[in-house]
Structure 1
Amino acid sequence: MPTDPFTDLSPDQQVKVLPRHLAGPGPVDLGTVWPFPEDWSVHQADDGAALATSPCLRLVASLALDADSPRKGKWTVTANRAPFGSAAWQVTFDATTPVELLHDFHSELVDLYLEDRHSGQGRLLEDNTPPQEAYTLLLARGWSHQIKTDGTRFFRDPESLGVVRHRYAIVSADSPTWSAWGGYPSEPYWRARFSYGTPTTLAAAFTASLVSTEPVGRVVKDIPFHTRRHIYVAAATSAQQPSVSSPLPVPPSFPGPSRTR
């Protein structure tokens, strides 16, 4: 059985770890998760809840916190067909989702939004990217592939602690086309759901970040306990993480998102 790599480290020790999906959420603020252009409207309430809208009013992003929930709330992005109109698609992430995954997803969302604004191609609503773009990199990183007769396929990391599910045969538009989770299947740390109609490009940006080999920075005490034996410590430093009482502490610096197109 693997040993706990954090046994001899202080709870306040800063480390860089992999894989990302087992690292815990990390320190988060809106500037990290939402790299939105200056012309977007962003509002945050005193309790940490937040709302952002694009100038065209067709994209709405929100954060709803729930301190009593095991996964602490939800990040949500909704694309509407017209301002204040019906939703074309929606993506949700538990608030416990690693911040690097959230950042890279929203960065790709901004790229699609800007591309549509300048070209008028409408890829936010009609994206022809093939599903292979979202799962080829998983296979390249050693994730297994299982196809089921109910119209779903599963991709699992070598220890089955990270899972991506794709519905390749849509039976109901109410079921997510893509979903992912990290941690033990019986009680994952976080979940992500991409509704029917979500651009595959956004799912591909998320999966690319999911299996990125760039280690993420964490403090030992913030790394989920039950899967620590499955985490690789890439580096450790002597710096101390300051104590922060806010649910949305100041973020570290992250590398820029990698493009999937």
Structure 2
Amino acid sequence: MPNTPDKPRAYRIAPRYLANADADGSETVRPLLDAGWGPSRDDEGNTFVTAPDLRARLAHLPESDGRTLWKISANPDAFAPPEWLVTFDNQTPPEVVADFTTALADAYTRGPSAYLGGDGQTVGVDTCLQLLDAEWSFDPATPFLTYQSPDRLVRLHIRDNPVRHEAEMAGDTERWLFEVGPPGQVWYATASSRLPEHLLQALTSAVTDPSPVHRSMRRIDLDHLPAEATATPTAPTPIEVARIRAATARSVSSASSRQPSLTAPPTPPAPIGASSATTPRRSPL
């Protein structure tokens, strides 16, 4: 029997923060577009989505150097340097980015005070307390303030020493660093010091949400999932169901046509024939 190619099929991957990044990224920018933000592209193929007042921007950077794929920032006015910066690397599941952009779009519609904050400073105490309430543990063995999820697959590192704002906006350092996945299969998200508390909480929820997501994968791709992830095949798609039914119908029709007649027909038979019935990593924009 000849070898047949391994066809992709749908799986439900849980938790979602262990799913791969190979999924449709268009939903990551949809909340911003719905809020009136405008898209553009550079000559290299990178995509930018900018707020109407030019105070906030998302950049999708598949052609840039390094691992950072998404940069999201906001500033007090169109000519000011960014007030805060959030980044996601190229292995981040796009559903995580979409949850954060949904929160940002909602904040944007409420005005600058919602997405820039009052004095521009965030303490993060409420966020850390929420993690402890969710049974996260504090890890004293790192040079940072580190919180670890119960499954030990998500770690939040917080720099408690002074950090220069210019260095954060350049991407040279960060106040908040999420490290997600087992060793060798880690992806990262970062946030700078002045991200408003409610957006930091939205980012934390997006990163740590264990809800399953769907992926179209080949069997060989499953070998690259972290061992801690579960991959459950979903029900056959409507196209697969139609193909199975069509193949079954052809098989039954063929078997029936090969059966010998047991009695002579009383009248000349009508012509017999086969049934003729027929069944009637990419840019996010």
* TM, length-normalised to structure 1: 0.72
How many angstroms does 1:51 deviate by?
Answer: 0.8
- Which residue of 138, 151, 154 corresponds with 1:145? 138
Is the CA contact (8 Å cut-off) linking 2:12 and 2:233 kept in structure 1? yes
The reply on whether 1:78 has 2:69 as its aligned counterpart is no
The reply on whether 1:65 has 2:62 as its aligned counterpart is yes
The runs of 5 or more residues in structure 1 that have no matched partner are 1-9, 251-261
Matched with 1:93 is 88
- Which residue of 203, 213, 223 corresponds with 1:206? 203
Is the CA contact (8 Å cut-off) linking 1:16 and 1:235 kept in structure 2? yes
User: 1:48-91 CA distances to partner (integer Å, 9 max, x unpaired)?
Assistant: 4101111111112111113986x4x5210121222121221111
In 2: Cα distance, 1:140 partner to 1:189 partner: 25
How many angstroms does 1:146 deviate by?
Answer: 1.9
Is the CA contact (8 Å cut-off) linking 2:174 and 2:191 kept in structure 1? yes
Give the SS at the match of 1:14: strand
Is the CA contact (8 Å cut-off) linking 1:15 and 1:234 kept in structure 2? yes
In 2: Cα distance, 1:23 partner to 1:208 partner: 16
Give the SS at the match of 1:204: helix
Is the CA contact (8 Å cut-off) linking 1:94 and 1:191 kept in structure 2? yes
Q: In structure 2, what residue type is equivalent to 1:198? A: L
Give the SS at the match of 1:237: coil
Is the CA contact (8 Å cut-off) linking 1:13 and 1:240 kept in structure 2? no
Give the SS at the match of 1:203: helix
The reply on whether 1:239 has 2:274 as its aligned counterpart is no
The runs of 5 or more residues in structure 2 that have no matched partner are 1-5, 168-172, 240-280
In 1: Cα distance, 2:186 partner to 2:222 partner: 8
Matches within 5 A, 1:212-251: 212-221=209-218, 225-233=223-231, 236-239=234-237, 247-248=282-283
Q: In structure 2, what residue type is equivalent to 1:143? A: W
In 2: Cα distance, 1:234 partner to 1:143 partner: 27
Q: In structure 2, what residue type is equivalent to 1:146? A: D
How many angstroms does 1:158 deviate by?
Answer: 4.1
Give the SS at the match of 2:11: strand
How many angstroms does 1:183 deviate by?
Answer: 2.6
Give the SS at the match of 1:87: coil
* TM, length-normalised to structure 2: 0.67
Matched with 1:13 is 9
Between Structure 1 and Structure 2, the one with more strand by share is 1
Give the SS at the match of 1:52: strand
Q: In structure 1, what residue type is equivalent to 2:148? A: R
In 2: Cα distance, 1:155 partner to 1:24 partner: 23
- Which residue of 176, 179, 192 corresponds with 1:178? 176
- Which residue of 127, 148, 155 corresponds with 1:163? 155
In 1: Cα distance, 2:133 partner to 2:14 partner: 17
Q: In structure 2, what residue type is equivalent to 1:60? A: R
Give 1 or 2 for the bigger CA radius of gyration.
2
Shift in CA distance, 66/163, structure 1 to aligned 2, threshold 3 Å: farther
